Chain A
Amino acid sequence: MDSEDDHHRYQSSDEEDFQESVEKAVTLPKPIVLWRTATLPKTCSTLIIGTAFGASTLLHTVKAKTLLGTLILPGVDLKDNTLDVNARTNASCNIYELDADPTVVIIPCNYEIKDQNSLNFAKAIMNNIQASRIIILDTLSPSTYLSGSPDTEYNYPWLRLLQTAGSTTVTKIPALEVPNLVQNLGAALMSYCEVRGQSDTYLLLSLQEHVYGKALTTAATLRGLKEGLASLGCPLVANEVDVTAAVVSIQDKRVGSNRTRDDRLYA
């Protein structure tokens, strides 16, 4: 049975909807980057971005970090947010550098960025930060993963990797198989880098677990991201993240933990 969401697949599928589309046209907000010191493109050796499906919570647990700036997305829901950047309830998208290695910049993106805002958000990051290597941490829902076989066993930590053309091949982590697709900020960031020929850009995906019928980011998911970081040549960050603390944040339903992922790109 068709639902409104199914109709959305063919957005303006009928010409009668086109006028409605013109009248209800939405404006896509452009993110704003605020730096603590001078406004300039930040250069770094490694940029690590954690998306708001669990990975941001992991990066948020790094204690020894210095705030450089923040990304503001107009219209985002910041209810119950706090100004304390280290608080577990922080719902911002702050930019930090690692105290142990200031050439490493991390962005725990605690915003729930909608698909339509992803590209502008990715551009805001990439236009303001120039990195030699970029690692995006994201999670994959088991309900959307297509293995092509009914006998797939999920042994956690379960990781998959996507990399841009020209990137150094990583053999320790299997590549994501056809025809699986990634959405949201991870897709937008990787697409931006791929089309511009930026090498050494990786999207690390850790499988969420099915818990009581829901796809949730668990300790196993986060351990996978931690191990993946080490495999991608970031042992420093891998040692700094605290899986246990991240799990507590997720279980307390803190922001930046288990965002509801809209898995239905095609119904």
Chain B
Amino acid sequence: MNTFVPSPGFDASRFKGTTLILPSVSIGNVPQLATDLLLTTLKLDRVGCIEDENVIPVLGPADRPHDATASPQSSSSLSTGGLSLAVEVFQSKDGKWTIIQQRSPTVRHRSHHYADNLLQFIRESEFDQVVLLASADGARRIDTQLRSGTPVRYILSPAVPTTLIETLKGLGLEPLESVPTTADQRREDLMRLQEHHSTPTLRLSDNVEGMELDNVTTTNQPLEKVPRIPSGGIARRLHSLCQEQGIAILTVVKFAMEGDNAPDAIFLANVLNAIFKVYVPTQQQTLDGEGWKMPKSWDSLYGNSYHQDMYQ
């Protein structure tokens, strides 16, 4: 079900031919933070929201660019107006970019429904291509990923144009390695299947180690064509759904760990910009050293400030 609700006066046919950029709620919230940078810097207009029962509703004042000269008391949203919703859809004035920002997680055990609804929205909107931002658990990297100089990987669907593939190679980015499941993971999958299907012939034994998952379950078969993204949220699921439907989708994965993830977000935004040139600063902005604008909410990423006196 397409759960997109357009803002009054917006025609959803304007999505056709644009590039969709959306985050997957994943470790460190890096994709969402990177999307914050895009929205604040590009000053996009909200054109609607994804009103999905599978996402926890949240609401707050609209997040505007941080103003270093403003006093803390002048943070009222009345002067600027607007509210921030759980899942919002923005579009650039030139119509090239459509960006989704998600500010809350999905309902427990309902994320597959959310992914299905997103797919429906993507299909009906006829986007030219989809760029899915995700982050993966840096602690679960394999040796080659640890040795690699770039903490970013990508996953492509076959429908992606060759020009994009060349751009990625030109930037020195590498595709996400397909990590085989561990023996424990295969054993757990089979145990789960055994409970679900109650097939008496399936027994846990040493022979389990050599079995291929593709032969065991059809539910996961499309997923197996897409590399695993540890702590990547719905990224793998959504990518594989889009790939099955022949949609051109590029998933950009940043390895990250919980902590101060603002630098990770800036890195991911820079990679995205290097690929697609989403933000092209003017000559004056370049001379002034202007880069990504951070929203006001980033001032409180780690809670309230505290009195330094207590440490004296």
Contacts and interface: CB of A to CB of B under 8 A. Distances in A.
A214 interface: no
Contact of B59 (A186, A196, A266): A186
Nearest to B305: A150
A196 B5 contact: yes
Given A11-B109, A19-B219, A148-B304, A164 B53 contact: no
A177 B72 CA distance: 10
A181 B62 CA distance: 10
Contacts of A47: none
Interface of B (DSSP majority class): loop
A81 interface: no
Contacts of A10: 25-27, 105, 231, 233
A125 to B, nearest CB: 14
A182 B60 contact: yes
Contacts of B105: 8-11, 265-266
B296 A179 contact: yes
Interface in A1-57: 8-16, 18-26, 28
Q: Which of B27, B62, B217, B305 has the most CB of A within 10 A?
A: B305
Contacts of B234: 12
A136 B49 CA distance: 21
A178 B61 contact: yes
A196 B112 contact: no
Give the size category of A's interface with B: 35 or more
Interface in A208-253: none
Contact of A191 (B77, B85, B189): B85
Contacts of A178: 60-64, 75, 77, 295-297, 300
A24 B195 CA distance: 13
Contacts of B158: none
B233 to A, nearest CB: 6
A197 B303 CA distance: 32
Interface string B223-234: 100001111111
A9 B27 CA distance: 9
Contacts of B26: 10, 13
Contact of A16 (B29, B104, B185): B185
B220 A19 contact: yes
A148 B192 contact: no
Contacts of B56: 115-116, 118, 183, 265
B311 interface: no
B111 interface: yes
Interface string A95-128: 0000000000000000000011011101000000
A175 B106 contact: no
Given A146-B300, A148-B75, A197-B7, A12 B111 contact: yes
A169 interface: yes
Interface in B56-103: 56-64, 72, 75-78, 81-86, 103
Interface residues of B, number: 72
Contacts, number: 198
A18 B59 CA distance: 28
A61 interface: no
A198 to B, nearest CB: 10
Interface string B1-27: 000010110000000000000000111
B83 A194 contact: yes
A162 interface: yes
B59 A11 contact: no
A200 to B, nearest CB: 14
Interface string A179-190: 111111011101
B297 A179 contact: yes
A195 interface: yes
B113 interface: yes
A78 interface: no
A174 to B, nearest CB: 6
A14 B181 CA distance: 12
Contacts of B296: 178-179
Contacts of A12: 106, 109, 111-112, 233-234, 237
Contacts of B277: none
Interface in A120-165: 120, 122, 146-150, 152, 162, 164-165
Given A16-B185, A191-B57, A116 B107 contact: yes
Contacts of A149: 72, 304-305
Contact of B110 (A13, A25, A192, A195): A25
Given A19-B220, A179-B63, A196 B8 contact: yes
Contact of A119 (B29, B57, B236): B57
Contacts of B109: 11-12, 20-21, 24-26
22 contacts: A9-B105, A14-B228, A16-B185, A19-B220, A26-B107, A26-B109, A116-B107, A119-B51, A120-B53, A147-B304, A148-B72, A148-B299, A149-B304, A150-B307, A152-B304, A169-B78, A175-B61, A178-B64, A183-B57, A183-B58, A187-B86, A195-B49
Interface of A: 8-16, 18-26, 28, 115-116, 118-120, 122, 146-150, 152, 162, 164-165, 169, 171, 174-184, 186-188, 190-192, 194-197, 203, 265-266
3 tightest A-B contacts by CB? A179-B297, A187-B59, A197-B8
